[in-house]
Amino acid sequence: MKTNQNSRRDFLATSLVAGAALAGCATKNPFTAEEIPDVKPSGEMVKLLSVDGEIIEVDKAFLKPVPELPSVMNTEAREGITGKKFVMVIDLSRCKSVKKCQTACNHMHHIHPGQNWIKVYPMQEAEHTAPYWQPTTCMHCDEPPCVKVCPVDATFKRKDGIVLIDSDRCVGCRFCMAACPYSTRVFNWEEPKIEKEISDKPYSCETSVPQKKGTVGKCDFCPDMVRQGNLPHCVSACPNGVFMFGDILEDTVTNGAETFRFSDLIKDKAGYRLMEDLGTKPSVYYLPPVNRNFPFENKADVEEPKKG
Amino acid sequence: MDKLKENKIVEDLFPQKFGKQGTIWVISLSIICAIGLFAYGRQLYYGLEVTAMRDYVSWGIYISNFVFFVAISLVGSLITAVLRLTDVKWSTPLTRIAEIIAVSAITFASLIIIVDMGRPERFYNLFLHGRLQSPIIWDVIVITTYFIISLLLLYFPLLPDLKILIAFKERNGKWLQKLYVFLGSFWKNKPEQFKITDKAINILAIAIIPVAFSIHTVTSWLFATTYRPGWDSTNFGAYFISGAFLVGAGGVVVAMYVFRQHYKLEKYITEDHFDRMGKVLVMLALLYLYFNVNEFLVPAFKMKKSEEEHLLGLFTGEFAPIFWFAIFTAMFIPIFILLFKKGRRPLPAFIAGILVVVGSWFKRFLIVTPTLLHPFLPMHDVPANYHHYFPTWEEWAIAGGSLAGALLVITFFARIFPIIPIHETIIETESLENEKHF
């Protein structure tokens, strides 16, 4: 399979341009080159990568931080991003159960301590088959059993394939938790233990922050990151490149360092989905643990690798 | 029929004030309810964390109580509708008992469901944003319908009795008299009025049967529409309904005995009634046993991987004691007692009824929790207490409070209204006498 060496440059370049555009477009016409009158050059120079891939030096005083984008409105959050259908590929041959994915997800979503939206299961289908680690996110199914049973449309499937939860509408009946065969949903049994600044933030379905007492939570494929052209936190956090995220319509997935053609990847490496026979049509594909990078070591002796 | 006989019937069936036993009963139930309310206050403040439910066992005894209540409430349709429509006469004294059990049970089913919600203050979302494709919304619709029909089937036959009650102004006291007048002063025993209510009761009795089948079928679908082992069964609708008729009939036998003993109603709830209800009960228990065989033996024959852990957990594992206790107390022992004529006498039938009700409560628990402890993927990356479930004191208090509340409603109903229809009893005694003369 081919890797695209320019992908990282494209990412950085795009975000720089986006940042500069945002920084500049607050009050001014972005298409005219104007002097910024009030800012005096500080003398301190910063090395940056230009759009053309050249190293340039810019005075630090001319740089403005990218403002945090406000969350989208609830109606738009329910619709989704046009023209995309997100998909994730998890390469089981690379997973060592480092659990940086779990740590990053828990941290960035300010999840109640003890709960995890990503679970890394020790799996072994049968007595003679290989044990392996299986990081499991929400499958964002195309036939989501959770969405089918929600009585108040608090969990819904968007046109970009992402299944989200609206914690402002959820009544806490937990039918979705009973319906999900992947055991991916967690419930806020008490007031989530998070700092006041986080709990005071305005809630958005796309950030899923702050989590609310008496409602359900789960992996959301980080739509707030994706809207900005970034990857979900688990994808960026994994040091072994296990998670790959992308767009099935573009037929591309990437783990930040490598990019693959999704259909080729699945075909070449015999990708599969969990519990295919249930008909849920998950959006998460797994690459089997063949030619493993690390041997399987389960440090928890009490925990036997369980069947799938 | 001479006035003397009629007066005797009225005197026997007139609602009586609470004696010493009654007062102790009411106070005990009220204390249990009060503790339940206090526990619920804690739950509202701290969240559902005060229960033992966690991410795996996300449904616990609140839901099994809900299923239990919906099951018991089916008895209204069984006795009032099915037996009435098949022109069975012996069940007449039991219709009001059955209906108040039904109304009380379905009310507390709705209350316990609200208790189970993580955000009860958002209950209106079910109506503002309700999605018709969700089995929960189907349940809300059919349960509301059943409640209304049951309430009407309680009210319409009560009207002639209200007229009798209103006549005893001195005996009733101020508030009860006001209540009776408010509810039924327009009733004059006119033939036109009877024509309307008789027709209404007939229509409702027919309508309630499909609704009754719906409430418990839809409740079973809260489980059967999921993939989980133990729930993913095509058998669930019929299995639940047969269980519902069983526990409802058991409840009626218990209530029959208690009211008979307490209010000295031996002439109206006779030994013959116990014999017949005993036969109904044993038939229903055998039917439920049949469905249990289908539900457990067939998957056990195959032992599919996903179901293996669940089934072994029930038959020989951690849930085995509860499972076999439930099977024996809800089915085997009552069947054994009631198959014999001696067993269908009031006291043994009462014991069988109690066993059925208790066993059925545990059966409902076994339907909800064990499946949740056997998910498809291993239980992992969760705190240790997520691997088990034993209800906390708050859960017991709230569940107990709901049961006590249901019993209180039935008790107060029997205090306020005649628990055996006076007017219908008079009519039937009259027609029996006329039959004898010819």
d(Cα B198, Cα B196) in Å, to the nearest integer? 6
pTM: 0.88
What per-residue confidence (pLDDT) applies to A198? 85
Could A182 and B223 be called an inter-chain contact, meaning their C-beta atoms sit closer than 8 Å?
no
Using alpha carbons, list the distances in angstroms from residue B99 to A3, A72, B14, B331, B332: 73, 53, 18, 24, 28
The least confident of A7-16, B50-59, B91-100, B367-376 is A7-16
Angle at A108 between CA A105 and CA A114, to 5 degrees: 60
Do A32 and A83 lie in a common domain? no
pLDDT of residue A20 exceeding 60, the answer is no
What per-residue confidence (pLDDT) applies to B5? 80
Confidence of residue A302 (pLDDT cuts 50, 70, 90): very low
Confidence of residue A308 (pLDDT cuts 50, 70, 90): very low
What per-residue confidence (pLDDT) applies to A2? 46
What per-residue confidence (pLDDT) applies to B194? 93
What per-residue confidence (pLDDT) applies to B282? 94
The contacts of residue A42 (CB under 8 Å, 6+ apart) are: A59, A60, A61
Q: Which residue of A has its CA nearest to B139?
A: A151
Domains: count for chain B: 1
The two structure tokens encoding residue A66: 């990218």
One DSSP character per residue, chain A reads ----TTHHHHHHHHHHHHHHHHHHTTTS-TTS----TTPPP-S-EEEEE-TTS-EEEEEGGG--PPPPPPPPPHHHHHH--TT--EEEEEEGGG-----HHHHHHHHHTTPPTT--SSEEEEE-SSTTSPPEEEEE-----SS-HHHHH-TTS-EEE-TTS-EEE-TTT-----HHHHH-TT---EE--S-----HHHHTSPPBTTTTBS--TTSEE-----HHHHHTTPPPHHHHH-TT--EEEEETTTTEEE-SS-EEEHHHHHHHTT-B-TTGGGT---SEEEE---S-SS------SS-PPBP-
pLDDT of residue B363 exceeding 60, the answer is yes
Q: Which residues of A197-232 are buried (b: 16+ CB within 10 A; e: fewer)?
A: eebeeebbbbbbbbbbbbbbbbbbbbbbbbbeebbb
ipTM (interface pTM): 0.92
pLDDT of residue A305 exceeding 70, the answer is no
pLDDT of residue B411 exceeding 70, the answer is yes
What per-residue confidence (pLDDT) applies to B437? 72
Residue A305 included in any domain: no
Best CA proximity match to A194, nearest among A116, A111, A117: A111
What per-residue confidence (pLDDT) applies to A37? 64
Enumerate residues 124 to 143 of chain A having a beta carbon within 8 A of any beta carbon in chain B.
136
Helices and strands, number each (H, E), in chain B: 20, 0
Angle at A76 between CA A70 and CA A80, to 5 degrees: 105
Residue A39 included in any domain: yes
The two structure tokens encoding residue A129: 């088959």
Report, as an integer, the average pLDDT of A46-52: 81
The two structure tokens encoding residue A288: 């089997």
pLDDT, averaged across chain B: 93
For chain A, give the percent of residues with pLDDT over 70. 83
Q: Which residues of B384-418 are buried (b: 16+ CB within 10 A; e: fewer)?
A: eebeebebbebbebbbbbbbbbbbbbbbebbebbb
Report, as an integer, the average pLDDT of A27-53: 69
Best CA proximity match to B378, nearest among A274, A147, A165: A274
Do A236 and A158 lie in a common domain? yes
Higher model confidence: residue A98 or residue A31? A98
d(Cα B79, Cα B61) in Å, to the nearest integer? 28
What per-residue confidence (pLDDT) applies to A10? 67
**Which candidate from A119, A152, A175 shows the least CB-CB separation from B381?**
A119
What per-residue confidence (pLDDT) applies to A42? 80
pLDDT digits 0-9 by tens, A195-231: 888 888 889 999 999 999 999 999 999 999 999 899 9
d(Cα B371, Cα A226) in Å, to the nearest integer? 37
Residue B134 included in any domain: yes
Interface test with A, best of B51, B54, B55 (most A CBs within 10 A): B55
Q: Which residue of A has its CA nearest to B123?
A: A171
d(Cα A159, Cα A82) in Å, to the nearest integer? 7
For residue A15, give its domain range.
7-62
Do A237 and A140 lie in a common domain? yes
pLDDT of residue A194 exceeding 80, the answer is yes
d(Cα A271, Cα A262) in Å, to the nearest integer? 10
Residue B215 included in any domain: yes
d(Cα B313, Cα A296) in Å, to the nearest integer? 29
What per-residue confidence (pLDDT) applies to B422? 92
What per-residue confidence (pLDDT) applies to B6? 84
Could B129 and A153 be called an inter-chain contact, meaning their C-beta atoms sit closer than 8 Å?
yes
Higher model confidence: residue A59 or residue B366? B366
Confidence of residue A288 (pLDDT cuts 50, 70, 90): very high
Confidence of residue A13 (pLDDT cuts 50, 70, 90): low
What per-residue confidence (pLDDT) applies to A260? 96
Do A107 and A188 lie in a common domain? yes
Report, as an integer, the average pLDDT of B397-414: 96
What per-residue confidence (pLDDT) applies to A307? 46
Phi, then psi, of A136 in degrees rounded to 5: -125, 120
pLDDT digits 0-9 by tens, B150-176: 999 999 999 999 999 999 888 888 999
Using alpha carbons, list the distances in angstroms from residue B154 to B100, B104, B150, B209, B418: 7, 11, 6, 15, 12
Do A140 and A257 lie in a common domain? yes
Residue A51 included in any domain: yes
Domains: count for chain A: 2
Best CA proximity match to A22, nearest among A73, A65, A82: A65
What per-residue confidence (pLDDT) applies to A17? 63
pLDDT of residue B243 exceeding 90, the answer is yes
The least confident of A12-21, B63-72, B375-384 is A12-21
Could A152 and B129 be called an inter-chain contact, meaning their C-beta atoms sit closer than 8 Å?
yes
Higher model confidence: residue B310 or residue A36? B310
Report the 10 Å Cβ neighbour count for A82: 7
Interface test with A, best of B44, B377, B379 (most A CBs within 10 A): B377
Higher model confidence: residue A61 or residue B115? B115
The two structure tokens encoding residue B69: 């209540």
The two structure tokens encoding residue B266: 């031996």
Are A170 and A154 contacting, i.e. CB atoms less than 8 angstroms apart? yes
What per-residue confidence (pLDDT) applies to B191? 93
d(Cα B417, Cα A235) in Å, to the nearest integer? 68
For chain B, give the percent of residues with pLDDT over 90. 82
Do A58 and A85 lie in a common domain? no
For residue B99, give its domain range.
3-374+386-423
Do A20 and A152 lie in a common domain? no
pLDDT of residue B61 exceeding 80, the answer is yes
What per-residue confidence (pLDDT) applies to B86? 84
pLDDT of residue A24 exceeding 60, the answer is no
Could A187 and B56 be called an inter-chain contact, meaning their C-beta atoms sit closer than 8 Å?
no
Are B180 and B155 contacting, i.e. CB atoms less than 8 angstroms apart? no
Residue A292 included in any domain: no
Alpha carbon A151 to its chain centroid, in Å, reads 27
pLDDT digits 0-9 by tens, A107-132: 999 999 999 999 999 999 999 999 99
What per-residue confidence (pLDDT) applies to A252? 96
Interface test with A, best of B40, B54, B58 (most A CBs within 10 A): B58
What per-residue confidence (pLDDT) applies to A82? 93
Name residue A59's beta-bridge partners.
A45
Residue B428 included in any domain: no
Do A137 and A14 lie in a common domain? no
Do A11 and A117 lie in a common domain? no
Residue A81, min C-alpha distance to chain B (Å): 23
Report, as an integer, the average pLDDT of B217-225: 96
What per-residue confidence (pLDDT) applies to A49? 79
CATH number of the domain encompassing residue B120: 1.20.1630.10
A169 and chain B in contact, CB less than 8 A:
yes
Residues in chain B within 8 Å Cβ distance of A181:
226-228, 375-376
Could A278 and B116 be called an inter-chain contact, meaning their C-beta atoms sit closer than 8 Å?
no
Do A53 and A82 lie in a common domain? no
**Which candidate from A170, A189, A278 shows the least CB-CB separation from B54?**
A189
What per-residue confidence (pLDDT) applies to B211? 94
Residue A224 included in any domain: yes
Best CA proximity match to A295, nearest among A94, A85, A70: A94
Do A22 and A94 lie in a common domain? no
Q: Which residues of B160-190 are buried (b: 16+ CB within 10 A; e: fewer)?
A: bbbbbbbeeeeebeeebbeebeebbeebeee
What per-residue confidence (pLDDT) applies to A18? 61
Confidence of residue A44 (pLDDT cuts 50, 70, 90): confident
d(Cα A125, Cα A307) in Å, to the nearest integer? 4
B124 and chain A in contact, CB less than 8 A:
no
A175 and chain B in contact, CB less than 8 A:
yes
Are B327 and B355 contacting, i.e. CB atoms less than 8 angstroms apart? no
Are B6 and B438 contacting, i.e. CB atoms less than 8 angstroms apart? no
CATH number of the domain encompassing residue A116: 3.30.70.20
Higher model confidence: residue A72 or residue B57? B57
d(Cα B250, Cα B364) in Å, to the nearest integer? 15
pLDDT digits 0-9 by tens, B275-289: 999 999 999 999 999
pLDDT digits 0-9 by tens, A266-284: 999 999 999 999 999 999 9
Residue A68 included in any domain: no
Residue A293 included in any domain: no
